[in-house]
Structure 1
Amino acid sequence: MPRKIVDPGSIDEDLLRDLVGGVPRPDAVPIPSVPLEPADVSSMKTAEAADTSPEVRRRKVTLPDYESTFLKSKTVRHRMTVSISENTKKKLSAVVQYLGTPDLSISGLVENILSHHLDLYRDEINRLYRNRQNREIL
């Protein structure tokens, strides 16, 4: 079956980022709630707990240039083993083979992706860590 070709200009990048970040669409119509049966009391407690938790502020992120951010050659020193699924490995291999520079490896691509992720979410990761350290274990 042929793939659908989409014009990149027609893609609403802000909407995609909001959807991934869990931000509701501005034109979304609220769905009427269905009354729960008594057996679903535990899910009601979970929903109530989620409503009382503080709202996480997400920053609006402009997407970096993919090629200069992720497809640049990176020498990985002091390598460590990380396991990924076979499917993910095949996808990364295809990206490196068809889009990467001749000296880019899968390890280099993974290093670039993870470094970018950790830089992007540094504040959020630190906030979550601080919150969990203040909790009592027992």
Structure 2
Amino acid sequence: MKKNVSSQSMDATLQDFLGNQPSMETPKPEPQPADTQEQQGKSNETVQEQTGEAVPEQADKTPQVVRRISGKQRRASLEEYKEEFLRVPSIEDRKPVFLSHSTRDALDRIVRMFGERRMSVSGLVENIARQHLAAYGEDIEAWRKL
């Protein structure tokens, strides 16, 4: 399953999760057709009426959508993350991989907080690499042929 998430938003989310300062660069909103903006404006008015909360507006006067994530959704996403990345992999024919100190510390913190007894940073990196290759393998093969 390929998820369309920009690397900037993933980096910002990871930095926020780890308690580090995110980069000062903010992603620019994608332009939307006029009819989509009108529908979004109407739905935001409805949200504001239902919740009684003010919906912040962007510089171009289109209100931003305020979404809330329930504890149940957070637990489900944590379980999905654990299932995807924190399973102890079987690694044969190991080779060293070098990471910066800050990246290593961040991954080590994740493994200690959420990983099982035998989980390691090497296992997390292995799972991330496998997921990446599964998601982009076909694209990489097509790009290679260009």
Give 3-state SS (helix, strand or coil) of 1:17's partner: coil
The match for 2:95 among 80, 85, 88 is 80
Q: Does 1:118 align with 2:106?
A: no
Q: CA deviation at 1:65?
A: 1.9
Letter in 1 for 2:99: I
The match for 1:108 among 98, 113, 123 is 123
Report what 2:30 is aligned to.
25
Report what 2:37 is aligned to.
none
Q: Which has the larger radius of gyration?
A: 1
- TM-score of the pair, normalised by structure 1: 0.51
Report what 1:129 is aligned to.
144
Distance 1:86 1:95 in 2: 14
Distance 1:88 1:19 in 2: 15
Give CA deviations for 1:79-132 in whole Å, capped at 9, x if unaligned: 10111111110011001101101111111110000000001001110111000x
Judged with a 3 Å threshold, the aligned counterparts in structure 2 of structure 1 residues 70 and 129 are, in CA distance, closer, same or farther, namely: same
Q: Does 1:67 align with 2:82?
A: yes
Q: How many residues align?
A: 84
Give CA deviations for 1:61-90 in whole Å, capped at 9, x if unaligned: xx9921101011113221101111111100
- TM-score of the pair, normalised by structure 2: 0.49
Judged with a 3 Å threshold, the aligned counterparts in structure 2 of structure 1 residues 94 and 18 are, in CA distance, closer, same or farther, namely: closer
Aligned alpha-carbon RMSD (Å): 3.4
Distance 1:65 1:79 in 2: 27
* 5+ residue gaps, structure 1: 1-13, 30-62, 132-138
Letter in 2 for 1:118: L
Structure 1 outlier segments of 4+, above 4 Å:
18-24
Q: CA deviation at 1:19?
A: 7.8
- Please say if residues 71 and 100 of structure 1, whose CA atoms lie closer than 8 Å, have aligned partners that are also in contact: yes
